[in-house]
Amino acid sequence: MRIDDDRVAETTDPGAGPVGAAPSVRRGRPAPTSKDVARVAGVSQSTVSYVMSGKRPISEKTRLIVLEAIDRLTYEPHAGARALAGHRTNVVGLVVPFHNPEAASGLMAFAEEIAVNARDHDYDVLMLTAAEGPAGLARVQRRAMCDAVIVMEVATDDPRAAMARELEMPVIFIGVPDDHDGLHCIDFDFETGAFLLVDALADVGCREIAALGWSEERVGLGMNYVPRFRASAEARAAERGVPLRWISAPHTRAGVDAFLDSVLAPDGRPHPGLLTVHSPHDLGAALQQRGLVPGRDLDVVSLCTDVEAQAQPVPPTAVSPQPRDVSRLAMGWLFDLLDNEIPAELRLVEARLTTRGSVRPLG
């Protein structure tokens, strides 16, 4: 697995624009040519041609110098040159948010499954930083760095959506931006998952539900699944006539303790049903410290993977977002797109409830 951690940088050429930006029309100046690229790179024009076409081996140092010159000039080869450069790289680009440790840690199952599926098809994975935004997508196509790209951690208002529609290589979003027309998007069905979890608590007679949601910092990132899940949970609770109190808190021991202190009922009265997202490791310990056992003293459900559920003292009834299934299906779709024209659409992975011992039997 390779990591590309280039950052968008400003060029010293006043007519060129930032590295990785889409080409612009220069006022009173012709579009750059391969001869211009050769001049800036300090190589022959034929060397530029060989870098673009891959017809002859070029040293990695020279190739990078030429690619940097292409970026600086925002040079776009004509259609014939692009056709010559159309050979497969056998590399898949994977855009991940290295700038956000909280998100990155939760994405490992996705990334690992993508890497495994890539190797099964004799492909490598080039990891790209999400910080580059749309310019990063344009850059990897212009440099012919990979054959296709998978974009993770998709925001509700994602600036990469417009660029993805313009690229000639396949792009798959794992996530659903609001403006997803014309995009290939795949994700877990968070809406149905929320319905199932609320129903699991309402079905056993919980009179209210307290939801431990994502932290304020996580919410502030604008990830698309957060409002999708929350809105569906609140809508389903309203349909079932069960008040739902949503609390955003850090998934740390201090955050979990503060959540429980604010929602647990005093004086022996019935506790609300608890709904958590990404089941925090400290939840079971915090409940034990209060002498509470899920499935005996109160009901607990969670949006979490099976691994997260099994790490709890009492594994919760849960809906898994199925990161490995989502990634596997995304990769299968991606390899189909490399060989076939497939209309853009939204595909959702079915949500299923796994019943465990954290919810008391009805009656």
Q: Is the pLDDT reported for residue 5 higher than 60?
A: no
Take residue 268 and report the two structure tokens written for it: 């022996």
Q: Residue 101's pLDDT is what?
A: 52
Q: Residue 11's pLDDT is what?
A: 31
Q: Residue 21's pLDDT is what?
A: 36
Mean pLDDT of 176-182: 94
Q: Is the pLDDT reported for residue 28 higher than 80?
A: no
Mean pLDDT of 50-65: 79
What lies within 8 Å, CB to CB, of 169 at 6+ separation is 141, 146, 147, 148, 149
Residue 130 pLDDT grade (very low, low, confident, very high; cuts 50, 70, 90): confident
Q: Residue 154's pLDDT is what?
A: 94
What's the CA gap between 186 and 330, in Å, rounded? 7
Mean pLDDT of 265-280: 86
Q: Is the pLDDT reported for residue 290 higher than 80?
A: yes
What lies within 8 Å, CB to CB, of 9 at 6+ separation is 18, 19
Structural domains of the chain, ranges and CATH numbers in brackets: 88-188+322-350 (3.40.50.2300), 190-321 (3.40.50.2300)
Tell me what the pLDDT averaged over the chain comes to.
85
Instruction: Report helix angle 60-73 to 134-142, nearest 10.
Output: 130
What lies within 8 Å, CB to CB, of 293 at 6+ separation is 287, 314
| Residue tagged 């499935």 (tokens) | 295
Q: Residue 195's pLDDT is what?
A: 98
Question: Where is pLDDT greater, at 239 or 284?
Answer: 239
Question: Where is pLDDT greater, at 186 or 221?
Answer: 186
Q: Residue 218's pLDDT is what?
A: 87
Mean pLDDT of 73-99: 69
Q: Residue 100's pLDDT is what?
A: 52
Kindly state the helix (H) or strand (E) to which residue 196 belongs, with its residue range.
Answer: helix 190-202
Q: Residue 208's pLDDT is what?
A: 97
Q: Is the pLDDT reported for residue 143 higher than 70?
A: yes
Inter-residue contact 4 to 127 (CB < 8 Å): yes
| Residue tagged 């698309």 (tokens) | 224
Q: Residue 63's pLDDT is what?
A: 86
In this predicted structure, which of 29-33, 235-239, 353-357 has the lowest mean pLDDT?
29-33
Mean pLDDT of 16-23: 36
Mean pLDDT of 180-201: 97
Question: Where is pLDDT greater, at 26 or 233?
Answer: 233
Q: Residue 273's pLDDT is what?
A: 97
